[in-house]
Structure 1
Amino acid sequence: MKSVDQPVLRDIVLIGGGHSHVGVIKKFGMAPWPGVRLTVICTDIDTPYSGMLPGYIAGHYRFDEVHIDLGRLCAFAGARFIQARVTGLDRMAKKVICEGRPPIAYDAVSINIGSTPRVDLQESTPGSAVPVKPIAQFNTRWQALLERIRSHAPGVSIAVVGGGAGGVELTLAMQYRLRNELTKAGKNPDSLSFHLLTAGDRLLPTHNPKVQQEFMQVLQQRGVNVHLNAEVIQLNEGVLSTTQGLQLKADEVMWVTQAKGAAWLANTGLDLDEGGFIEVKDTLQSVNDDHVFAAGDVASFKDRPLEKAGVFAVRMGKPLTENLKRHMEGTPLVHYRPQRTWLALISTGDQFAIASKGALSFSGGWVWQWKDWIDRRFMRKFTDLQPMDMDAAPAAPAPSVNLSAEESQQAISAIAMRCGGCGAKVGANVLSRALQAIHPIERDDVLVGLHAPDDAAIVRVPPGKAMVHTVDFFRAFIDDPYVFGKIAANHALGDVFAMGGQAQSATAVATVPPGLEAKVEETLFQMMSGAVEVLNEAGCALVGGHTGEGKELALGFAINGLVDESLKGVMIKGGLKAGQVIVLTKPIGTGTLFAALPQLGTRGVWIQRALESMMHSNRKGAAILMEAGATACTDLTGFGLLGHLVEMIKPSGVDVRLKLTSLPLLDGALETTRAGIVSSLQPANVRLRRAIQNQAAWVNHPLYPLLFDPQTAGGLLASVPADNALHCVAQLRQNGYPHAAIIGEVLAQGDALELVALTE
C-alpha cells in the first residue's frame, strides 16, 4: 500500500471494473488527486476486455491477454481494491451495501458494471441457459464445454440465442475453436451442430445491409443453422420452443440477447429506464442524484439511446475521470458527447474480420490484424505498469476538494503538527460512534467489559483453568481496513490456538491516521468490524482497548486464553518427539507476495488467495491436530518456517529432516522469490541458515528462500505420531485446509551441531 502523508478528505467509490473505470483508475494513478481516496469494488479481480473475448473463445488469446488485473492496477494507482458483491446503495447515508461485509462510505460513487442478457421465457429449466454476461460465469461454463468436447464422444448440439454482433461473433468463435479441438483429438468435427436463433427478421440489425449479408454468407458457409423470426419462449430440458412453433434440442444454450440492468439497481431509488439501466445526464450523473455517476452499458441517456457497445464505455472514461475530480472540487462538470458513428470490427472466428461504420464496410485478414493491434494497444495501457519511484516523486500539492467550514478546520488540524501522549488519542465521540455498530459477544466470565466500559476489564478465570497470555501488533499491509482487521485478529489468536487453548478475551490497540472525523470513524468501524467478526467466531470477547493517532493504520490485540490448569492437552514448542512427522496446515509465501505488491511484481489473484488464507482461522486446525495426538505446535509468523522450526527443535532435543519439495506454497510465491523479491525481514531470518546441515547443497534451489519467508496469520506447524499423520492431513483438508501437508519427520538427536537436514 502507498504511504499517504495527506489526510483523506473525500472518498470516491467505483463499483465494477468496466472499461470506463479502468480508465479512471489509470489516470488517478498517473496523477493522484490530493485528499481523495479511490476505492474499487468488484466481484472479480480479473476484469475482461470485451473486444478480445471472441478471440479468447476462438483460442487466439490466453486468459491473461484478455483480462485486466484490477488488483495490480489498483496497486499502481494507490487505490483500494475490495473484492465483494454489491447488493445496493444507501443513498441517504451515502454507503455502498456489500454482501458479507460492512457498508462502504462514499462522497461520490460511480457504477460501471455492464449488463446482463435478458432471458425472458415463459418457462425454463433452472441453469439451462448460459448468459454470456457476466463473463466470469460464462467462462466457467465454457471451460467445462471445452473439457467435455476433449474428453467425450462428439455429437454436441449448441444453440446461441441472439442475432446481434455479440451472438454472431460468439457463434463463429465457439464453432472455430470446438472444431479445432475435435480435429486435434482425432474426432469428426462435422459431428458438431450449431444453431443461431434471433427474434428479428435479420442478423446484426444495427449494422448496414452489406455487413448483414456478408455475415449471413459466412454462417451459411460454416454450416451454422440460422433461424430468423424465432423468438424463444420456452426452454425445458434442453428443448427450445419459439413463437413460430420450432422445437429445437440443444446440449448447450448460450444467451446473447438484449441486455438488462443488474437486479439490485431497482432498489436504489435511482431513476431507471425500461431495461433497468441508470438514467444519466450528459455529465454522467444520475438524473436524480448528483453524487451517483454511471458509465458504460449501465448508463442510459434519455435523449439519445446508445447501443451497448464497448467503444462507448472506453470513450466515457475520460469525461468520467474529469467529472469525478471536478465534483470533488465543486467546479462545473464537462459534458460527454457520444460519437454519431463508430467503427466496429467484428471477427469471424478464424482471424478474419469485417469492419462496419455507418454505411461503410470492408473485410479481410488484414482487418483482423488491425483489430488485434488496436486491442493489444488498449490492453498495454493497463498491463505495462511501472511502480512509482516514491523517492523521486514531488511533494503532493495541497488538497483542492470542496470542504465545509467545519471540515476545513478538521483538515487543517489533521495536517498540522499533532500532539503526542494522551493528546494523540482518537476523540471520544468518534470512537463511540465507530464502535456502537459493532457487537462483540458477551461471556459470563467477563464481569466488566465493553457492555459497561470502565478503566479496565475484569475477567474471571473459571475453576480448573489456567490463563494463556499473548500479544501481537503490526501496521497495515493492505488498504482494506475490514480485511486487515480480520487478519490482525486471526494473527493474534494464533498463539492461543497453537497451544491448544480456548480464546477468552481480547484487548485492542489501534492507531489510525488523522483526518476528517468522518473518515477516521469509518476506518475504525471497518477495521474493528472485521476484527470482531473473527473474535466472535472464536468465542473471544473484545473487552476494551486503546485507539490513538499515527501515521499508518495499525492494529494489535492482547489475547487471554484458557487451558486446563494441569496442562493436559497443551501443545508446547518443546514437545517434538523422535518418530513423529511434521505437519503444516497452510501454504507459505505471504512475505514475498506482499513485498512484491508495491513493486507491481505480483498478480491480483495471488494477493486475493493469500488474503483468503490469512483470514482463515487456525481454530479448527488446532482441534484436529490435538485429536491426532500432536505434542508440539506453533503458528508460523514473522520468523518464517525455519525460524519457528528451530524454536521447536532446540528445547525438544531432537533433529528434523525437512522435505523441501513438500512445502505447500501460496500461488505466485515461487514466481516472486525467483524474481528476487523478498520481505524486508528476510535478511534477518536468513541468519538461521547455519541451522541447516546440508545448506550448501540446497542454497540455489528455488524453494530455499521460502524457508525464511516471514508469514502473517500463517498456518500451524505441529508434530503428530506417524501412524496418525495421513488421517490427520485428510481431516485438515476436509475441514478447510486444502494445502495441509506432511513436510518432514522428527529424528533422534545426532552428533551434528546443525539441527535440520533438507531432502527432496
Structure 2
Amino acid sequence: MDTSRLPLTRDLVLIGGGHTHALVLRKWGMRSLPGARLTIINPGSTAPYSGMLPGFVAGHYARDELDIDLVRLARFAGARVVPGAADHIDTTAQLVHVPGRPPIAYDVASVDVGITSAMPDLRGFAGHGTPAKPLGSFAAQWGTFREGDAPAYVAVIGGGVAGVELILAMAFALRSRGRLAQATLIDSDQALRAIGAKARHRLRRALVEQGVRLEENARIERIEADHILLQDGREILSDFTTGAAGARPYGWLADSGLDLQDGFIRVGETLQSSATNVLAAGDCAHMDFAPRPKAGVYAVRQAPVLYHNLRALLTGDPLRRYKPQKDYLKLISMGAKEALGERFGTTLAGPLMWSWKDRIDQAFMEKFRDFPAMDPPGLPAEHTLGMEEALGDKPMCGGCGAKVGRDALLGTLAGFSHADREDITPLPGDDAALLTTGSTRQVISTDHLRSFCNDPVMMARIAAVHALGDIWAMGAEPQAATANLILPRMSPELQSRTLQEIMGAASDVMQQAGAAIIGGHTSLGDELTIGFTVTGLCPRPAITLAGTRPGDALILTKPIGSGVLMAAEMAGQSKGEWVAAALAQMSQPQATAARILQDAHAMTDVTGFGLLGHLLGICEASGTGAELHTSKIPLMQGAAELAGRGIRSSLFPANQAAMPELKTSGWQDLLYDPQTAGGLLAAVAADQADDLLDQLRAAGYPAALVGKATSSPGTITLSA
C-alpha cells in the first residue's frame, strides 16, 4: 500500500538537532510511521558533531566535516525543518514557540537542545568571551581567528577534560602556523580532577609539551578584549577567550513547566519528562534514575530507545527502558594526532588512540553522509503507451518547476479572444490583467505553488511573495487577496493547525505589503498546494512588458538558481546551507525594490519561464532585443556547482525548447532555470542604472546590472 496517501493524524516535534535526534531522524527515514507528521526545530541548517570539534580546532578536519546536514537528513526522513531556536514550550497548550513564526503544535515532543558554556555571571565574558557550546558559533569564530597572521594569545576557562582538549588543540593549531605567543588554561580548582590519576598525569604532561600555561586555583575578576584580570591582580593576555567550565542548561527551559534538576529536564527510564508526552535526551536531560556526566556516548545510545518510545506514544504500544552503561571509553584528543584512552582505570595514549578515535568519529558521521536509496514504486505491469516518457527520469519539481512550459501555455492562450470590454486593457504576455473602473486602474493576478518544502509556514511566505510578484512588477500597490489552498489528507485537528500556520504566515506577508486577505477556498488532496489571487491599485500608469528602449539597462534584483537547488534538494544532493539561503531569498518581498524601480520602462518578475524566457517576453512585447552579460548575473549559493553536475529542474527542457537558437551548457543552463518568487527584471534608462543599483543594494537586494536592450527585435545574445 502507498502509505504516502494515508491521512496525517498526529504531530511529532523534535526540538533541537542534537546527536540523539539526528539518529532518530535517520531511523525514521529507514522506517517512518504512517500518519505522523515529523518536525525538527533547530537554529541552523546543520548540527555540529562534538566528537570532532578538538580535531577541527587543531586543524585536522575541515569545517564542513563537523556538520550533520539537517536539511538533507530531514528530507530523507520526510520531516519538515523549522529554522530557529525554540524559546518556550507550553506543555498545557502543547505548543512550541519559535520567534518569528506561529507556534508549532505537537501531540508528542522531544527535547535535545544540548547545553551552553556561556558564563553570564563572569564580568566581561558576554562581550569578550566565546562559549565553547553551542559548537556551531564557536567553530565559526575560531575558524576566523585561526586563519589570522598576528601573534596569538588564547585562553580557556575550565580545566576539565573538555577544556584541556580545547587548549591543547588551540595551542597545536597556532604553533603549527608559527603564531602561538601564549596559551593558558585557567581553573578555579585543580585541573582534571574528575579523571583517574594516570590519565591526569599524562594530560598534564601534554600541556607542558604543547607549551600551555596552567593556572589552577585562580579566581577571575573580569574578561577584557585582550586580557583576563585575575582577582589577585595578575593579567593573562588573551585575544581569544573561551569557556568550557561545566554544562549549563538553556534558560528558557526554566519556564517550561517541566520538572527540572539544576535547570536540566528530569527524565525517567523511558526518557519521559514530568509531561509524559514530552521526552528529553542528550545533555539537556538529567537521568533521575541513573545520574551520569554529560557525555555524547549516552546521547548516542539513547537514540534507539527514544525512537521506539516516540513511535510507541503515537501508536499506543508499550514503551522501552533505557539502561545507561556504568562506564565508557573516554577518548581525549591531545592536540597533535594523538589521543588518550581511559576506561576502568586503564590508560593508553599515542597516535594509535587517535586513529581509533578518528575511526569511531568517522563511522558516526558516515551515517549522515550517504543515505540508503529508497527505490521508487514500479509501474504496473500493464499501462498505457507513453507513460514512461510522461513520468520522465526524475520526480516532478515543486514551485514553478511544476508549471506548464512556455510554448504550451502561450499556444493555448493565443486561442482565446479578449472580451469586447472597454474596462479591460489587453496586455499580451503580461501575467496580470489591467482593469479600469472609472478613474481607478486595478491589476489582478493569480498564482499558486505545488509544495517543494515540508514547512507550511515557509511555503505560505514564498507563495505569498510569489503571487505578489506580478502586482509589484506592474508598479501597483497590493490591495486584496484570496487564498486557494489544497491540504494533504489529514485529521480535522491537523487541518486546523496547518491552516492557522499557513494563514498566519501569509497574512503577515500580505499585511506588510499593504494588502488584506479577504477570503479563499480550501480542499483536501494528495499534496500541499498554496495559491493566491491578488489585486493591486495603480496610482500611475502600469508598468508592462512593452516599453523597453534600445540602450536601456537591464537590472535583476535577485539571484537565480532556485529551480536547480530545489530539484537537488528533492534528490538529497544539495547542501542544507544552500537550501536555507535559497528559501530566505525566495521569501524576500519585493515591495521596496518595486518602489525604487517605479520609473522602469518595462518590468516583469522572473518565475517559471526562467531568466531567458521572461527576458524574451519583454523583448517580444517591446520590439527590442537584448544582450545578457553572463558574468554579471547573480547566482544562488551552490547553484552553479549543482548545474555543473548536470542537475536540472523538470521544467528545464520546456524552457530551453522555447529558445533553441541559444546554446548553453554547464552553469549557463541556469538561464533557463525556473524561478520561484524570483527577482524583478527591469529595463531602465541607462543613465539611471548605477543610482538605482545603489538604492537596491542599500535596501538589502543583491541586485545586478545583467545586460542591455538592443535594437534587434526578439534577438537575445550572450556575452561575458
**TM-score, normalized by the shorter chain, greater than 0.5:** yes
My pick for the range that moved more, 379-388 or 480-489, is 379-388
Q: In the alignment, which residue of structure 2 is the partner of 1:367?
A: 353
Q: 2:452 aligns with which of 467, 477, 481?
A: 477
Whether the 8 Å contact between 1:469 and 1:559 is mirrored in structure 2 is yes
**Cα displacement string for residues 624-664 of structure 1 (whole angstroms, at most 9, x for unaligned residues):** 122xx411100011111111111100121111111122211
Structure 1 residues 690 and 461: CA distance shift in structure 2, 3 A: closer
2:692 maps to amino acid: C
Shift of 1:544: 1.1
My pick for the range that moved more, 222-231 or 43-52, is 222-231
**Cα displacement string for residues 399-435 of structure 1 (whole angstroms, at most 9, x for unaligned residues):** xxxxxxxxxxxxxxxxxxxxxxxxxxxxxxxxxxxxx
Please state if 1:729 is matched with 2:693. yes
1:518 maps to amino acid: E
Whether the 8 Å contact between 1:76 and 1:388 is mirrored in structure 2 is no
Q: In the alignment, which residue of structure 1 is the partner of 2:626?
A: 656
My pick for the range that moved more, 668-677 or 705-714, is 668-677
Structure 1 residues 244 and 311: CA distance shift in structure 2, 3 A: farther
**Cα displacement string for residues 196-239 of structure 1 (whole angstroms, at most 9, x for unaligned residues):** 011222x3222211110001111112211101122435334554
Q: 1:514 aligns with which of 489, 494, 509?
A: 489
Q: In the alignment, which residue of structure 2 is the partner of 1:607?
A: 579
Q: How does 1:231-380 map to 2 (within 5 A)?
A: 231-236=219-224, 238-242=226-230, 246-274=234-262, 276-286=263-273, 288-380=274-366
Whether the 8 Å contact between 2:89 and 2:95 is mirrored in structure 1 is yes
Whether the 8 Å contact between 2:120 and 2:126 is mirrored in structure 1 is no
Shift of 1:181: 2.4
SS of the residue aligned with 1:672? helix
Whether the 8 Å contact between 2:4 and 2:34 is mirrored in structure 1 is no
1:280 maps to amino acid: V
Q: In the alignment, which residue of structure 2 is the partner of 1:743?
A: 706
SS of the residue aligned with 1:217? helix
Please state if 1:195 is matched with 2:184. yes
1:167 maps to amino acid: G
Matches of 1:126 and 1:60, distance apart in 2: 29
Please state if 1:704 is matched with 2:668. yes
2:164 maps to amino acid: V
Q: In the alignment, which residue of structure 2 is the partner of 1:204?
A: 192
Matches of 2:302 and 2:548, distance apart in 1: 63
Structure 1 residues 492 and 381: CA distance shift in structure 2, 3 A: same
Q: In the alignment, which residue of structure 2 is the partner of 1:55?
A: 55
Q: In the alignment, which residue of structure 2 is the partner of 1:427?
A: none
Unpaired runs of at least 5, structure 1: 183-188, 395-459
How many residues align? The count is 665
Structure 1 residues 667 and 387: CA distance shift in structure 2, 3 A: farther
Q: 1:719 aligns with which of 673, 678, 683?
A: 683
Matches of 1:589 and 1:732, distance apart in 2: 20
Q: How does 1:400-419 map to 2 (within 5 A)?
A: none
Whether the 8 Å contact between 2:172 and 2:210 is mirrored in structure 1 is no
Structure 1 residues 248 and 107: CA distance shift in structure 2, 3 A: same
Q: In the alignment, which residue of structure 2 is the partner of 1:755?
A: 715
My pick for the range that moved more, 121-130 or 644-653, is 121-130
Matches of 1:92 and 1:560, distance apart in 2: 41
RMSD: 1.9
1:635 maps to amino acid: D
Matches of 1:525 and 1:178, distance apart in 2: 52
**Cα displacement string for residues 425-452 of structure 1 (whole angstroms, at most 9, x for unaligned residues):** xxxxxxxxxxxxxxxxxxxxxxxxxxxx
Structure 1 residues 540 and 3: CA distance shift in structure 2, 3 A: farther
The two structures have a TM-score, normalised by structure 1, of: 0.85
Please state if 1:625 is matched with 2:613. no
Matches of 1:112 and 1:672, distance apart in 2: 33
Q: In the alignment, which residue of structure 1 is the partner of 2:550?
A: 578
Structure 1 residues 461 and 3: CA distance shift in structure 2, 3 A: farther
2:701 maps to amino acid: Y
Q: 2:176 aligns with which of 149, 174, 180?
A: 180
Whether the 8 Å contact between 1:121 and 1:233 is mirrored in structure 2 is no
Whether the 8 Å contact between 1:691 and 1:755 is mirrored in structure 2 is no
Matches of 2:122 and 2:157, distance apart in 1: 15
Shift of 1:332: 2.1
Shift of 1:341: 0.9
SS of the residue aligned with 1:515? coil
Unpaired runs of at least 5, structure 2: 381-434
Shift of 1:248: 2.7
Q: In the alignment, which residue of structure 1 is the partner of 2:392?
A: none
- Matched residues, percent identical? 40
Q: How does 1:128-139 map to 2 (within 5 A)?
A: 128-139=128-139
Structure 1 residues 348 and 393: CA distance shift in structure 2, 3 A: farther
Q: In the alignment, which residue of structure 1 is the partner of 2:37?
A: 37
Q: In the alignment, which residue of structure 2 is the partner of 1:220?
A: 208
My pick for the range that moved more, 380-389 or 127-136, is 380-389
The two structures have a TM-score, normalised by structure 2, of: 0.89
2:706 maps to amino acid: I
Whether the 8 Å contact between 2:119 and 2:126 is mirrored in structure 1 is no
Whether the 8 Å contact between 2:6 and 2:489 is mirrored in structure 1 is no
SS of the residue aligned with 2:592? helix
Shift of 1:676: 1.8
Whether the 8 Å contact between 2:71 and 2:576 is mirrored in structure 1 is yes
Structure 1 residues 464 and 143: CA distance shift in structure 2, 3 A: farther
Q: In the alignment, which residue of structure 2 is the partner of 1:168?
A: 164
SS of the residue aligned with 1:351? strand
Q: In the alignment, which residue of structure 2 is the partner of 1:413?
A: none
Structure 1 residues 231 and 322: CA distance shift in structure 2, 3 A: farther
Whether the 8 Å contact between 2:76 and 2:371 is mirrored in structure 1 is yes
Matches of 1:10 and 1:197, distance apart in 2: 50
Whether the 8 Å contact between 1:660 and 1:703 is mirrored in structure 2 is no
Shift of 1:118: 5.0
Q: In the alignment, which residue of structure 2 is the partner of 1:525?
A: 500
**Cα displacement string for residues 374-412 of structure 1 (whole angstroms, at most 9, x for unaligned residues):** 111110111111442231599xxxxxxxxxxxxxxxxxx
